[in-house]
Amino acid sequence: MPLIQSIEVCSVAVPLDRVTSFSNRTVTHRHYGLVKVHSADGQTGIGFCYVGSSAGGLFTAAVEQLLALVLLGQDSHAVEGLWARMYQEALLQGRAGTVMRAISALDTALWDLNARSAGLPLHRYLGAYELESVPAYASGGYYLDGKTPAMLGEEMASYVAMGFKAVKMKTGRLSPAAEEERLRAARDAVGPDVELMLDCNNGWADVTQALQYMRRFERYDPYFIEEPFSPDDVDSHARLAKLTRVPVATGEIGYGRWHHQELLGKQGAAILQTDAAVCGGITEWRRIAAMAAGHGAVMCPHWFHDLHAPLVAATPNARYVEFFWDDQVLNFRRLVDRQLQHRGGRVVLHQDPGLGFRFDEQAVGKLASWTRVDGSAA
């Protein structure tokens, strides 16, 4: 029986090779929270999340002090029950932020552990819609010092040359005119038939400011405008969605099903980018995806393609995996021992049990050390 015997946890700060900017923030390091859940019969499931550009120690504290003790000694198949118990245990500290991300990582590790125990790749264990590969878009178009619109266009065209039929770029950092110039360069470079997505990373304060940009952007036929406002400002998302013909996408830092229910109910997003490593794990992500299906909304989950490829494969109303072809932005890629491959604009699914990869212990060990929680001190 897969009783949970011990849990290992660490947080890892991985430096970016090059300082990289979004609409309103600049990143030099990325902190990731990692967990390994070991069962008494010798299986190990892994889970992980992004915890921001600082303070990764909050993650390890949440696992060590709050959540691990809920799981130790329990049957890993009781995923729904363990989710409810973790959520209840962290009701005062959690529900959002780093504690919910810690719940997400542990929940992911339970699914991975159980799929490995069953000898099935995660997408088949969940009940696959796609068996071999899933559609993906190439994510990039960041702001770097000295990067011109022409260079942005070359970058976007390079993804199309790799076979991607959909590409994404950042927006919202510069003036409306300067952003229009970047978008025009990208559209000219990829041609009219490629789906071109825009990510604003919470860059705009209100609908008036957003419209100054969107009025210029619409003629370039963006596939969606992502995260125009702060995630909690659901009403502004809904108002913008009514005022522009470009679909609104958001949800990557949305926590729990109730936030997403509000977004859907107010028609604040046609596309949910819910991140299973943020929202409450695979368990909560699937609840949200099912709710979105009832609203005619589609799922395009946020980064961590290693985690989201199997979820997209098991979800009929999922449209795309966000794919990072190198390790410059999603430098989590440096912490795992196996990379997903892409072909013809699709990500090829791992067919080994569970997530199909493990942490690269040498890479992790250079940056952090694991702490083991086994309940013996309790």
Provide DSSP, 112-158: HHHHHHHT-BHHHHH--S-SSEEEEEEE---B-TT--HHHHHHHHHH
Nearest to 135, CA basis, from 370, 301, 248? 301
59 or 303, CB closer to Mg ion? 303
Residue with tokens 């390790």, as numbered in its chain: 327
From 76-84, 192-200, 241-249, 255-263, give the range in contact with Mg ion by CB under 5 A. Answer: 192-200
125 or 255, CB closer to Mg ion? 255
Burial class of residue 17 (count of CB atoms within 10 Å of its CB; 0-12, 13-18, 19+): exposed
113 or 329, CB closer to Mg ion? 329
Say whether residue 306 binds Mg ion (CB under 5 A).
no
48 or 142, CB closer to Mg ion? 142
130 or 199, CB closer to Mg ion? 199
Burial class of residue 120 (count of CB atoms within 10 Å of its CB; 0-12, 13-18, 19+): middle
φ and ψ at 59, to 5 degrees?
Answer: -65, -50
The span from the CA of 16 to the CA of 28, in Å, is 5
Residue with tokens 């619109």, as numbered in its chain: 149
71 or 300, CB closer to Mg ion? 300
Residue with tokens 């960041």, as numbered in its chain: 142
The closest residue (CB) to Mg ion is 199
The span from the CA of 120 to the CA of 178, in Å, is 49
- Minimum distance from CB of 322 to Mg ion (Å)? 8
Provide the token pair at 163: 């076979």
- Minimum distance from CB of 201 to Mg ion (Å)? 6
112 or 199, CB closer to Mg ion? 199
Question: Count residues contacting Mg ion (CB under 5 A)?
Answer: 1
Say whether residue 199 binds Mg ion (CB under 5 A).
yes
- Minimum distance from CB of 7 to Mg ion (Å)? 30
Task: Show the site string, 150-189: x = touches Mg ion by CB under 5 A, - = not.
Answer: ----------------------------------------
> Residue 33, CB half-sphere, CA atoms under 13 Å: how many?
30
Say whether residue 275 binds Mg ion (CB under 5 A).
no
Residues that bind Mg ion (CB under 5 A): 199
